[in-house]
Amino acid sequence: MSRIAVIGLGIMGLPMAVNLVKAGHDVVGFNRSQDKIDKLVSAGGTGAADVAEAVKDAEIILTMVPDSPDVEAVVLGEEGVFANAKSGAYWVDASTIRPDVSVRLAATAAEAGVKALDAPVSGGEQGAIEGSLSIMVGGAAEDFEAVRPALEAVGGTIVHVGPAGSGQTVKAANQLIVAGTIQLVAEALVFLEAHSVDTEAAIRVLAGGLAGNRILDRKAASMAARTFEPGFRVDLHHKDLGIVTAAAREAGVAIPLGALTAQLMGSLRAQGHGSLDHSALLILVEQLSGRASR
């Protein structure tokens, strides 16, 4: 069992930290707002006053914050992870950030004697609670093998996908597929409703055929009920579609459907819906169809 520091105890980080506690690890958490640290403490973890205190004795440091600048704020500087971690500690960044930032930070970590892995996750809040996340890991193979037992407490499918930054590239592809699928499910739901079809029955039969997918299984019912509690915030998916469109452009790859979905996600956010679940793309389909419910 390891001493594991978890920085960022939000929708994903808190349940991941709790699962590490349940697996028997000694977990110390830090978060910007105190109430989430209190939740970890009541689940059997320990709270730290700052990043430096959280990481000083940790063998593994897991970060789970929103975006590239947030990760940089947590790891760099005198108060950050790299300056305060033990030499030889493993830094596992589960946040979804830009692959190029991940590569740069891995090099900076190495200079500080810290072994970096980018390990973004997929599976949503439910996957984090269940400990069944899909984890795509970039970094050295031996470092991956060293942290794999700890990752097994939070993930069901854990795959080493290549050198530093590769995990983030795979995650960008994941976000492309998820956004596009949500958009198509939203369009199908509004279409079915317009034809007065029993949507619950339609979802059930569609889920059993070639159109079956996880969005249909996990989100179609709440979308049909117009419940958009996050989950995964529109703000965060907007960030991720920015990452994938920039990375596709850099590689000279055309992603027409992804680019269109990125525009729709940006529009949803511009209309003030950034804190809703990404399945709120349905709101735009309704608006475009002249059937707005809000």
Q: Please give the positions annotated as active site.
A: 171
Please tell me the distance from the alpha carbon of residue 128 to that of residue 117, in angstroms, as a whole number: 19
Instruction: For residue 66, state whether it binds ligand NAP (rule: CB under 6 A).
Output: yes
The CB-of-201 to ligand NAP minimum distance in angstroms stands at: 28
- Exactly one of 6, 17, 92, 121 binds ligand NAP (CB under 6 A); that residue is 121
Select from 61-69, 141-149, 265-273, 279-287 the region that touches ligand NAP (CB under 6 A). Answer: 61-69
Select from 70-78, 108-116, 197-205, 259-267 the region that touches ligand NAP (CB under 6 A). Answer: 70-78
Site for ligand NAP in 3-22 (CB under 6 A): 7-13
Cα 71 to Cα 65, 120, 158, 198: the distances in Å are 6, 12, 22, 45
Given a contact cutoff of 8 angstroms between Cβ atoms, the answer to whether 171 and 269 are in contact is: no
- Exactly one of 23, 43, 52, 73 binds ligand NAP (CB under 6 A); that residue is 73
- Exactly one of 26, 53, 70, 72 binds ligand NAP (CB under 6 A); that residue is 70
Instruction: For residue 48, state whether it binds ligand NAP (rule: CB under 6 A).
Output: no
Instruction: For residue 78, state whether it binds ligand NAP (rule: CB under 6 A).
Output: no
Instruction: For residue 96, state whether it binds ligand NAP (rule: CB under 6 A).
Output: yes
- Look at residues 93, 32, 39 and name the one whose alpha carbon lies nearest to residue 62: 93
Burial 204-241 (b: 16+ CB within 10 A, else e): eebeeeeeebebbeebbeebbeeebebbbbbbbbbbbb
Which residue, 65 or 215, has its beta carbon nearer to ligand NAP? Answer: 65
Q: H or E segment at 158?
A: strand 155-162
Please enumerate in sequence order all residues whose Cβ is within 8 A of that of 81, keeping only pairs 6 or more positions apart, or say none.
Answer: 7, 51, 55, 61, 63, 74, 75, 91, 114
Site for ligand NAP in 182-221 (CB under 6 A): none
Query: How many residues sit close enough to ligand NAP to count as binding (CB under 6 A)?
Result: 27
Q: What residue type is 248 in one-letter code?
A: A
Find the angle CA(106)-CA(162)-CA(259) to the nearest 5 degrees: 90
Which residue, 60 or 101, has its beta carbon nearer to ligand NAP? Answer: 101
293 burial type by CB count under 10 A (0-12 exposed, 13-18 middle, 19+ buried): exposed
Question: What binding mask, one character per residue, do residues 216-255 give for ligand NAP by CB under 6 A, x or -?
Answer: ---------------xx---x-------------------
Q: What is the dihedral of CA 235, 236, 240, 246, to 10 degrees?
A: 40
Which residue, 102 or 122, has its beta carbon nearer to ligand NAP? Answer: 122
The CB-of-203 to ligand NAP minimum distance in angstroms stands at: 21
The CB-of-26 to ligand NAP minimum distance in angstroms stands at: 20
Select from 18-26, 76-84, 116-124, 191-199 the region that touches ligand NAP (CB under 6 A). Answer: 116-124
Token readout for 176 is: 């492309």
Phi-psi region of 226 (alpha: psi -120 to 50; beta: other; left: phi over 0): left
Residues that bind ligand NAP (CB under 6 A): 7-13, 30-33, 36, 64-66, 70, 73-74, 95-96, 121-122, 124-125, 231-232, 236
